[in-house]
Structures are given as structure tokens and as C-alpha cells.
Amino acid sequence: MLKVTRISATKKISIIESLKELWKYKELIWAFSLRDIRVKYFQTILGPLWLILTPIITVGVMSFVFGLMVKIPSDNLPYLLFYLLSIIPWQTFVALLNQTTSCLESHAGLLSKIYFPRAVIGMSYVMNCTIDFGVGFTLIVLFSLFFKVFSFKIFLIAPVLLIIQMSFALGLGLLLAPLNAQYRDIKHVLPFFTQLFYFASPVMYSVTLAPAWSKWIYAINPMATVITTYRSIFNGTPLNFDSMMMAIMLSGATLFLGLNSFLKKERSMVDVL
């Protein structure tokens, strides 16, 4: 006999219950992650080598333009390492934000046919971006060894910074995903938002160049703290633990709000996809 499972769109589920349910679907999270990796490099000649080439090419161009030509201060770091320390976390952040924002829209056909926790898709993106970051982190270690500025502190601080940027990106993405499913304008507005946020984060410049009146912008920007902390690890500047605590609280609050909003709306989103 065919068993039919009815899912109530109005039933409230706590975050703890949702996390327990996600754990039950861990194999599906892994399956989605592997599928996305295969699709990403399908019919490419270099395949996963693009994980290495993309940041290196980007860093090379930025070092030439902003380092050799414009001569922007680099916090006493070689330009290649200075920009690598910002590009790796920034690209990971943007990738997770964009993918999570479009997770419902891009899986509309599947979501209308079978039930599984919609947050499974977002968690699979977290896995993919963590793998990408792992490759970038290896480049950071190798470059710092080459330029003889390596510090073992990177192994202690990097996991904390990774959690901050992932929580912030995932939280924002989960907030925007239901809106994007209902109003497709979001996917057109998001690139402008990320571009604005790019300039509000010290990706291509040192935060020391920012005027005094703008310091509050960096104080409430977790990505500014992430990038600045990475650079501080290698240039000998004392770590700003107050900024790190602020970034942890802001990213944690963003993740909580995003997950809570997503869980409230996920069951009714199929109707508007």
C-alpha cells in the first residue's frame, strides 16, 4: 500500500528539532555536495585545478594593479600574500551567499516532488565551500612559508574565522532564499549588494587607510574582521580580540535569524516556486 506523508505548512518546528532532522539526512547532504562538485567541473580540461588557478590569477592581477602601479600600503606584507589573505575568505563568503540565496529556486523541480529538509541544500553548499576554502588555506600556508612570514597561530585562529564567515554568509543566504523564491528581483539586486559590501570590506586595501569616521562600518562588518585578522597573524600586529568577539556575535545572530526565518517559511515555499 502506498504510504502518503502529509507535511503541514503551519506546523512549528524548533531549531533544535530541525538540526536533529538535518543530521538524519547527512547522507543526502553529502550526496548533494558530491553532485555539485561533479557538475562544477564537468567537461572542464583543468577540473579542480581551477580552485588553485582562480585565486592565484586574481591575486596576481590585484598585486600588479594595486601593488606595483598604485602602490597601496600592504601592512608590511608581500602584495601576493596581502591579497591572498583577503581573496580566499572573500570568494568563499560570496560563493556560499550566492548559492544559498538561490537554493530554493535552483531546486524548484525537486522540491515540488519529494520532501526533505530544505536546509539540506544549504548545508551541502557549506561543505563545498569548506572544501574550496581548504584548498585556498593551503595556498596561504605555502605563500607564507615562501615569504618567510609563516606563523603557527594560523592553525589556531583560522577555524574561528572560517566559522565566522560561513555563519555570516549562510545566515544572510537563508534570510534571502525565501524572498528570492517569491520575488526574483533579489537575484538581480544581490550582485549590487555584494559589490557594495566588497568595497566596505578591506579586500583590496588596508583598513589602516580608512578615515576615522568610517571605523564603525568595519566594527559591524564580520568580513572586515576576518580579513584584518588574517593579515594581523602574519604581519605581527596584535590580534583585536574585541573585534573578533563582535564578529562572532554578529555572525551568530545573523545565522540564528536566517535559520529561524528559513524554517518558518520553507514548508510554504513550494507553492510559490
What is the DSSP track for the chain? --------SS----HHHHHHHHHHTHHHHHHHHHHHHHHHTTT-SSGGGHHHHHHHHHHHHHIIIIIIIS----TTS-HHHHHHHHHHHHHHHHHHHHHHHTHHHHTHHHHTTS---THHHHHHHHHHHHHHHHHHHHHHHHHHHHTT---THHHHHHHHHHHHHHHHHHHHHHHHHHHHHH-TTHHHHHHHHHHHHHHTTTSSS-GGGS-GGGHHHHHT-HHHHHHHHHHHHHH-PPP-HHHHHHHHHHHHHHHHHHHHHHHHHGGGGGGG-
> By the 8 A CB rule, do 245 and 163 touch?
no
Print pLDDT tens along the chain (273 aa). 444 444 454 555 667 777 788 888 888 889 988 888 888 877 777 778 888 999 999 999 999 999 889 888 888 999 999 999 999 999 999 999 999 998 888 777 777 777 778 888 889 999 999 999 999 999 999 999 999 999 999 999 999 999 999 999 999 999 999 888 888 888 889 999 999 999 999 999 998 888 888 888 899 999 999 999 999 999 988 999 999 999 999 999 999 999 988 888 776 666 555
Number of H helices, E strands in the chain: 12, 0
Does this model's pTM top 0.75? My answer is yes
For residue 113, what pLDDT is reported? 77
Residue 45 lies in a domain: yes
Domain that holds residue 72: 35-270
* DSSP E strand stretches across 166-227: none
Helix (H, G, I), strand (E, B) or coil at 13: coil
Please give the pLDDT value at position 60. Answer: 94
Residues 245 and 160 sit within 8 Å (Cβ to Cβ): no
Q: Is residue 162 part of a domain?
A: yes
pLDDT, residue 3, reads 47
Is position 187 within any domain?
A: yes
Domain annotation covers residue 28: no
Please classify residue 179 by burial: count the beta carbons closer than 10 Å to its beta carbon, then call 0-12 exposed, 13-18 middle and 19+ buried.
middle
Asked whether residue 23 is assigned to any structural domain, the reply reads no
The reply to whether 58 falls in a domain is yes
Cell numbers 585556498: residue: 136
- Residue 19 inside a domain? The answer is no
Contact between 227 and 86 under an 8 Å Cβ cutoff? The reply is yes
For residue 224, the model assigns a pLDDT of 96
User: Would 29 be classed as within a structural domain?
Assistant: no
| Domains: count for the chain | 1
Q: Output the pLDDT for position 159.
A: 96
